[in-house]
Every structure is written in structure tokens, then in C-alpha cells.
């Protein structure tokens, strides 16, 4: 059983049917099909006639060179599942070309705001189309062919979007690596993909400083012969070393006279891979998730339209980094596929001032704003002053993603950003699902703060207990997706154990149904933790710690944190004759930064003399989680614990940790 935690105990059942009054915000149009209880009908039909539902969505939303022979082939028990088999399309064509003929030629596709106030770049659909075509031709010149992989290690600048769509245009598979990752993380990902080209920048701007990025790429290039070209965007004005014959500047490449402005999109099969993205799983290795062209794109557009109700004049801002899945689906493929104007921001929420986000909302008249609970909590900390400084009346819908939103943050978001009227769409999904799976739709049902409400049309779920039976009301179980959906990840090796079981896809998340049939997401039930809305496998952090010469053993757990959701808590035993010093703690954190990235660096490290293990040698994380959370009144069943005398030491050691970032423990 999973602890219900605060979200549930402070849950308030409220009726907040949005859109009924219009004091501060302009009223928003209802999607006509959703009025008058039509939602239930739509859901029922989408399940009963699911194939027709999906083929309808795919036809309505996308341009296909050739339609499918079958809508869905296979199920969770068959060796392969294929969506829209036999069909052909191109993602870049769908996000660009077709809009030119649909009256959107001079509509803004991408509005980019740099960290520095005066830096703004706007690309109309026509301009973005030319940039993408030009860069696609450069990739071709570099020898990139259909099916080859292009790694993209860039900060939040327009070139990132251009590089993705250019890869998609020529049928290359892009693999975007978050620019906050270390060179070691980049190396694993570039190697695993066998990329031909790496696109990076000289530096990335963070809080006014240009932090070098190219040196990280250089370390990777040294070890990866398969990367024959590295294209570097000049962003931070840093000196970089360029290797003749391999490294070139983006601007020089784009200015070259032999680069055409047009590039025919390559016809891709529906099942061809559009991109790969790595995420954390429960093993020590990052997990490669691949998405298909037809299924994924259908799902990204479908959910963008349904959940965010995107209209022609909307200005959509998703604050995620494109290095994560949220940015792929809700900055690039979903909204651009629908011909929406998207805003992309280079910087962070609190720099230079905590009103930065509201300043952006006002400046570009954002109508739909999609962010993460960790951001809301960070902004909430500064009170209402920064929000009230700005006219944010252009907003009509608010979204949340990445972790359960705690009711306090929900209420603050609703009251101060939403003027007590705007619906908050708490959207649950994962890298694996391609797009939103569980979320309220605007104007369909009353909301409950902290609940993701219901599965979207076309999505069937089950919540099951350890014996695989459906849970009772208010009982936490695992969330399963019962039927294939177009956005599902493409499985690579069924042989090495499938992630799809006969009962469906196991999400690894705990969930419950309340008495009104609302879904509440309760966090991960596996060894994955969620820090600031980012998924981190505890095994990955442990592996990183174990590569340090002083460390003998390490166990990492999540600890509740009022700002980050969860914080990283590491228990470490040192090798013989190594002293437990403050300096070593600093080194260990730095070591994890180098191995993974600063996001994975432990907030707390406790030195211990031993880890609690079962007699068969398995670390009992349940106990370690409790100690980290200061819940040591009862450890539950400890009959299998090999050395119970350890417990007192562990608890005692925890008590001596004062300053999270510096102190030793035992």
C-alpha cells in the first residue's frame, strides 16, 4: 500500500465549474462538441468504437500522403503493435508546409524570448519553413539519411526547434539531450543512438551567465567516431575549440550559397521512428523511449486540441524545456502541428526577478499557460506581489504537469493566476505515453484540486492491487492502461521482457478512484523519484555514487520536499580508512553532477556504517524512505531484516544532519 500523504488528507471536494463568470478574464469558447453533457457520449463512443475514433482523429488532424491499410494491428499480447500500418506522412510537413496553404503563412509560429529582455525572435510559419528546409539540406550535405540519428544538445533557442523539424523532414531520428546534462550523460545517449551528427552551442545562458557547453560535446566527440559532424550555434559568445573537418558554425552553414531554400519532405511510414528520448527507469541505465511518426503525431495533436482547446488566435506557452518530453509534445509537435503560435522562453522562472513569467504572459498576451507544480510552488513562495504587477487577463486556460499538484499550490494558481475562474488542467502522462492520458477537459466536469480527474477519450485505464484485482474506492493501486493508444512508445526488444503485459501497460504510478470516480495520482510505486517534475531513477544516482573511489555502498531514496516535490536522499558507506568529512560530501555531490547533471545531485547525504538489508541481501528501501522522512515511530514488518541493530544508528545519524547541503551524518 502506498501512503496517501498530504494531497489526499487535505483534499477538498469543490465544485469549480469554470467559465461561468467573466469578471477579469475574457470568456473562452467551448469546444462545441463538448457542451451539454456530450462529453460522456464522446467518451463512451471513443471506447466502444475505438478504431473509428482514432481513424477519425488521424484523418481530421493530419495530412497523410497515403492512408492506412489498417488502423491498429496487434494487442498487448502480440509481438508487435502497429498504428496506421501502411500509411505515409511527414511530421515536418504537418507542422509547417500545410499551414502555408491554410492562411497561416504570415502567422507567428514561434515567438522566442531570450533571457535578456531585449532579445526576441519571431518566426512566422513561412520563415520557420525556410529555416527548416535550409537546415535539412545541410544535414543531407553532412550525409544524414533516412533512419540515421541526429543528437541535439542545445539550450532553449529556436535552433533547437529548427534542428528537430529538419531531422524529421529528411526522415532522420532526432535525440534531444537536455542541455543541463553532463558530458557523461550526453556520451551514453550519443553512443547508444550511434548518431552521425551532433548539434550543440558554444554556451548556454543561465541566470545571466554564459556557461560553456561545447567542451562537454568535445569530450563526447573524442570517444564517438561515428559522429562525423558537429554543428555549433553561437549563443553565449564563448571561445570554443573547433576541430577542422568536423566542427562548423551553424551560421556559416546556413549562409553557404550552395544550400537550397527548399527541401522535399521524405515520405515516412507511420511506424518509422520520429525521435528517441531517454528517461529514467528503475535500472541504473537511462531508458531509451522511441516514438513513431504516425501514432505519436496523431496523439500529440489530438491531446493538444482536446485538452488545451487550441483556437486560431491562441498564444500557447508551455514552460518546459524541450530536452524533456513535455517540450517535444507541447512546444513542438502538438501546437505547431495544429498551426498554433507558441512561445518559447530561454530562461528560468525566478531570474532576474520572480515576476519574469507574468511579465512574459503580459508581453505576449499568452492565452494558455502550461507549467509544473514545482514552478508554481517556487513562484508562490514570493507571494502575490509579482503576479499582481502584471496584466495577465489574456489567460484563459492553465495547465499543470510533471507531478501531483498539491492543493495549496492548486489554490494559489487558481486564485492568483486564474482569477478564481480559470480551469486548471492537471495533466498526467509520461515520456512513454507520448501525450496526456489523464486530465480534465475544459468545461466538462467540476474540478477537485489535486485530482487529474479522468482518462481522456480513447484511453481506458484500470487501477489494480498487488494481486491484479481492481481496487476499491479510495484504495491505492497501480495504474494500468488497458488498450493500445496511438501515442504509445515503440517497443524495441520484446524478447528482453515486455513493458506491455497482458493486462495492459503498467505505468509504474500509484493511483486511486475516489467516491465520485475521480482519479488521484499518488506518485511512483517503483524506484523512480520525481524531483522538480523530473524523473530520476534512484539506481542511476546510486550507480553514479558507486563510481566514486571512496564509496563502498550507496542507497538513494526520495524524501518529501515542500518545494521540489521530492528531494534526493543518499545513504553512503565509505571504503575502509576513508574519513567522513564535509569536503568528501561536497566531492560526492560534484561527482554526481559530473556523472549525470546537477538535477541528480543529492540534497542530503548521510554517512552510514551499513545499509539495512534483508537476509537475502536486498536493501530495504522502505526503511530508508521512512528515516529520510523522519517517520521512525514504526518501520512496519522488519522480520526479514538481517541486522536490526543498524536501525538505531541510522535514526541517530539522521538526527545529526542539520544543514542539508554540508553536514555529515553519523
* 301 is a contact residue toward ligand WT7 (CB under 6 A): no
d(CA 611, CA 571): 8
Spatial contact of 39 and 441, defined as CB atoms under 8 Å apart:
yes
State yes or no: residue 403 binds ligand WT7 (CB under 6 A).
Answer: yes
Report which of 168, 163, 220 is spatially closest to residue 192, judged by C-alpha positions. Answer: 220
From 8, 535, 625, 654, residue interacting with ligand WT7 (rule: CB under 6 A): 535
**Residue 55 binds ligand WT7 (CB under 6 A):** no
CB of 511 to ligand WT7, least distance (A): 9
Can you tell me the distance from the alpha carbon of 306 to that of 34, in angstroms, rounded to the nearest whole number?
Answer: 10
Q: Candidates 133-141, 202-210, 519-527, 583-591 — which segment interacts with ligand WT7 by CB under 6 A?
A: 519-527
| Residue recorded with cell 507567428 | 108
Q: Which is nearer to ligand WT7, 386 or 537 (CB)?
A: 537
* DSSP label at residue 418: S
Cα angle 87, 88, 92 (rounded to 5 degrees) comes to: 140
> Which residue lies nearer to ligand WT7 by CB, 202 or 426?
426
* CA gap 311, 27 in Å, rounded: 13
The 8-class DSSP code of residue 391 comes to -
Nearest to 568 by CA among 616, 603, 541: 603
Q: Which is nearer to ligand WT7, 324 or 364 (CB)?
A: 324
Query: Is the preceding omega at residue 352 within 30 degrees of 0, hence cis?
Result: yes
Helix (H, G, I), strand (E, B) or coil at 194: coil
Binder of ligand WT7 out of 171, 265, 337, 402 (CB under 6 A): 402
Minimum CB–partner distance for residue 252 and ligand WT7 (Å): 35
In the complex, the smallest distance separating the C-beta of residue 7 from ligand WT7, rounded to whole angstroms, is 9
- Residue 428 binds ligand WT7 (CB under 6 A): yes
Selected binder of ligand WT7 within 167, 229, 430, 601 (CB under 6 A):
430
The answer to whether 404 contacts ligand WT7 (rule: CB under 6 A) is yes
Judged by CB under 6 A, does residue 524 bind ligand WT7?
yes
- Closer CB to ligand WT7, 149 or 599, in the complex: 599
Helix (H) or strand (E) holding 220: helix 214-223
| CB-count exposure of residue 475 (10 Å: 0-12, 13-18, 19+) | middle
**What x-and-dash track marks residues 305-344 binding ligand WT7 by CB under 6 A?**
-------------------xxx------------------
426 neighbors 405 (Cβ within 8 angstroms): yes
We find the least distance from the C-beta atom of residue 548 to ligand WT7, in angstroms, to be 26
Contact between 58 and ligand WT7 per CB under 6 A: no
Binding region for ligand WT7 (CB under 6 A) out of 206-214, 248-256, 517-525, 609-617: 517-525
The nearest distance, CB 413 to ligand WT7, in angstroms, is: 13
538 binds ligand WT7 (CB under 6 A): no
Q: In the bound complex, what is the minimum distance in angstroms from residue 468's beta carbon to ligand WT7?
A: 20
What x-and-dash track marks residues 446-465 binding ligand WT7 by CB under 6 A?
------x-------------
* Contact of 370 with 341, CB cutoff 8 Å: no
Minimum Å gap between C-beta 640 and ligand WT7 is 28
521 binds ligand WT7 (CB under 6 A): yes
Of 530, 538, 566, 604, the residue at the interface with ligand WT7 (CB under 6 A) is 530
Q: Which span sits near ligand WT7 by CB under 6 A: 134-142, 362-370, 399-407, 600-608? A: 399-407
- Choice between 87 and 156, CB closer to ligand WT7: 156
Q: How many CB atoms neighbour CB 485 within 10 A?
A: 25
The rounded Cα 647 to chain-centroid distance in angstroms is: 37
Applying CB under 6 A, does 429 fall inside the site for ligand WT7? yes
Torsion sign across C-alpha atoms 164, 401, 2, 553 = positive
Tell me the helix, strand and coil percentages in the chain, rounded to 5: 30, 25, 45
Which residues sit opposite 318 in a β-bridge?
370
Q: Which is nearer to ligand WT7, 177 or 574 (CB)?
A: 177
Distance CA 624, CA 538 (A): 12
**CA angle at 72 for the pair 71 and 75, rounded to the nearest 5°:** 170
Q: State in angstroms the smallest separation of the CB of 328 from ligand WT7.
A: 9
- Provide the angle, in degrees to the nearest 10, between the axes of the packed helices 646-655 and 621-628: 30
Q: Which residues contact 589 (CB under 8 A, 6 or more apart)?
A: 601, 602, 605, 661
Cβ nearer to ligand WT7, comparing 196 with 524: 524
Asked if 178 touches ligand WT7 (CB under 6 A), the answer is no
Least separation in angstroms between CB 523 and ligand WT7 = 6
Q: How far is the CB of 565 from ligand WT7 (least distance, A)?
A: 9
Residue range at the interface with ligand WT7 (CB under 6 A); choices 186-194, 211-219, 401-409, 622-630:
401-409
All 3 cell numbers of residue 195? 548518431
- Give the helix/strand (H/E) hosting 387: helix 385-388
Between 323 and 386, CB nearer to ligand WT7: 323
DSSP string of 295-314, one letter each residue: HHHHHHHHHHHHHH---TT-
SS3 343: strand
Copy the grid coordinates of residue 133.
528546409
Tell me if 174 sits within 8 A of 199, measured CB to CB: no
> Which CB atom, from 253 or from 509, has the smaller least distance to ligand WT7?
509
Q: CB nearer to ligand WT7: give 192 or 526.
A: 526
Q: Does 361 bind ligand WT7 (CB under 6 A)?
A: no
* Nearest distance in Å: CB 455, ligand WT7: 13
- How far apart are the C-alpha atoms of 201 and 631, rounded to whole Å? 46
Residues in binding contact with ligand WT7, number by CB under 6 A: 22
Residues that bind ligand WT7 (CB under 6 A): 279, 324-326, 401-404, 426-431, 452, 507, 509, 521, 523-524, 530, 535
Amino acid at each position: 500500500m502506498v501512503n496517501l500523504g498530504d494531497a489526499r488528507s487535505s483534499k477538498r471536494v469543490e465544485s469549480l465549474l469554470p467559465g461561468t463568470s467573466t469578471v477579469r478574464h475574457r470568456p473562452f469558447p467551448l469546444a462545441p462538441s463538448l457542451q451539454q453533457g456530450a462529453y460522456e457520449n464522446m467518451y463512451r463512443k471513443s471506447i466502444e468504437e475505438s478504431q473509428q475514433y482514432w481513424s477519425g482523429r488521424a484523418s481530421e488532424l493530419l495530412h497523410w500522403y497515403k492512408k492506412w491499410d489498417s488502423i491498429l494491428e496487434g494487442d498487448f499480447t502480440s509481438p508487435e503493435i502497429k498504428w496506421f500500418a501502411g500509411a505515409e506522412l511527414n511530421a515536418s510537413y504537418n507542422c509547417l508546409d500545410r499551414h502555408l496553404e491554410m492562411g497561416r503563412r504570415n502567422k507567428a509560429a514561434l515567438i522566442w524570448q531570450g533571457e535578456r529582455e531585449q532579445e526576441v525572435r519571431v518566426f512566422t510559419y513561412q520563415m520557420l519553413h525556410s529555416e527548416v528546409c535550409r537546415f535539412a539540406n545541410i544535414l543531407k550535405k553532412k550525409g544524414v539519411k533516412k533512419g540515421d540519428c541526429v543528437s541535439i544538445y542545445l539550450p532553449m533557442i529556436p535552433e533547437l526547434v529548427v534542428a528537430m523539424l529538419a531531422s524529421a523532414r529528411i526522415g532522420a531520428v532526432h535525440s534531444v539531450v537536455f542541455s543541463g546534462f553532463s558530458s557523461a550523460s550526453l556520451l551514453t545517449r550519443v553512443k547508444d543512438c550511434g548518431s552521425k551528427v551532433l548539434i550543440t552551442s558554444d554556451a548556454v545562458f543561465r541566470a545571466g551567465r554564459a556557461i560553456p557547453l561545447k567542451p562537454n560535446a568535445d569530450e563526447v566527440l573524442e570517444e564517438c567516431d561515428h559522429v562525423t559532424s558537429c554543428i555549433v550555434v553561437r549563443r553565449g559568445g564563448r571561445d570554443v575549440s573547433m576541430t577542422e573537418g568536423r566542427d562548423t558554425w551553424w551560421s556559416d552553414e546556413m549562409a553557404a550559397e550552395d544550400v537550397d531554400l527548399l527541401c522535399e519532405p521524405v515520405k515516412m511510414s507511420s511506424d518509422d521512428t520520429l525521435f528517441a528520448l531517454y528517461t529514467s527507469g528503475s535500472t541504473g541505465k537511462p531508458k531509451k523511449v522511441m516514438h513513431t511518426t504516425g501514432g505519436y503525431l496523431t496523439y500529440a495533436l489530438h491531446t493538444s486540441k482536446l485538452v488545451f482547446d487550441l483556437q486560431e488566435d491562441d498564444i500557447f506557452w508551455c514552460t518546459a524545456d524541450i530536452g524533456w518530453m513535455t517540450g517535444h509534445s507541447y512546444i513542438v509537435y502538438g501546437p505547431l502541428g495544429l498551426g498554433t503560435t507558441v512561445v518559447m522562453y530561454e530562461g528560468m522562472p525566478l531570474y532576474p526577478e520572480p515576476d519574469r513569467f507574468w511579465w512574459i504572459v503580459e508581453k505576449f498576451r499568452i492565452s494558455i499557460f502550461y507549467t509544473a507544480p514545482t514552478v508554481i510552488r517556487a513562484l508562490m513562495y514570493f507571494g502575490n506581489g509579482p503576479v499582481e504587477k502584471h496584466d495577465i487577463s489574456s489567460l484563459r486556460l492553465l495547465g499543470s504537469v510533471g507531478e501531483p499538484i498539491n492543493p495549496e499550490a492548486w489554490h494559489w494558481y487558481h486564485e492568483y493566476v486564474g482569477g478564481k475562474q480559470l480551469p486548471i488542467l492537471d495533466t498526467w502522462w509520461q515520456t512513454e505515453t507520448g501525450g496526456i492520458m489523464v486530465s480534465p477537459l475544459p468545461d466538462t466536469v467540476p474540478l477537485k484540486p489535486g485530482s487529474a480527474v479522468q482518462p481522456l477519450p480513447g484511453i481506458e485505464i484500470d487501477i489494480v492491487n498487488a494481486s491484479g484485482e481492481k481496487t476499491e474506492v479510495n484504495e491505492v493501486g497501480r495504474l494500468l492502461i488497458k488498450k493500445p493508444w496511438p501515442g504509445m512508445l515503440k517497443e524495441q526488444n520484446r524478447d528482453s521482457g515486455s513493458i506491455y503485459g497482458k493486462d495492459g501497460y503498467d505505468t509504474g504510478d500509484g493511483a486511486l478512484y475516489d467516491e465520485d470516480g475521480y482519479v488521484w495520482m499518488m506518485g511512483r510505486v517503483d524506484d523512480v523519484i520525481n524531483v522538480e517534475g523530473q524523473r530520476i531513477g534512484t539506481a542511476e544516482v546510486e550507480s553514479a555514487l558507486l563510481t566514486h573511489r571512496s564509496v563502498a555502498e550507496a542507497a538513494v531514496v526520495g524524501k518529501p520536499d515542500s518545494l521540489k516535490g521530492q528531494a534526493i536522499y543518499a545513504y553512503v558507506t565509505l571504503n575502509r580508512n576513508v574519513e567522513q568529512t564535509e569536503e568528501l560530501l561536497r566531492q560526492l555531490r560534484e561527482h554526481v553532477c559530473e556523472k549525470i547533471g546537477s538535477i541528480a545531485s543529492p540534497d542530503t547525504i548521510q554517512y552510514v556504517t551499513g545499509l539495512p538489508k534483508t537476509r537475502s541481501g536486498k536493501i530495504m528501501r522502505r526503511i530508508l524512505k521512512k528515516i529520510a522522512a523522519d517517520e521512525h515511530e514504526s518501520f512496519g514488518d522488519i522480520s526479514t531484516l538481517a541486522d536490526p541493530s543498524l536501525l538505531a544508528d541510522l535514526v541517530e545519524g539522521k538526527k545529526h544532519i542539520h544543514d542539508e547541503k554540508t553536514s555529515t551524518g553519523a
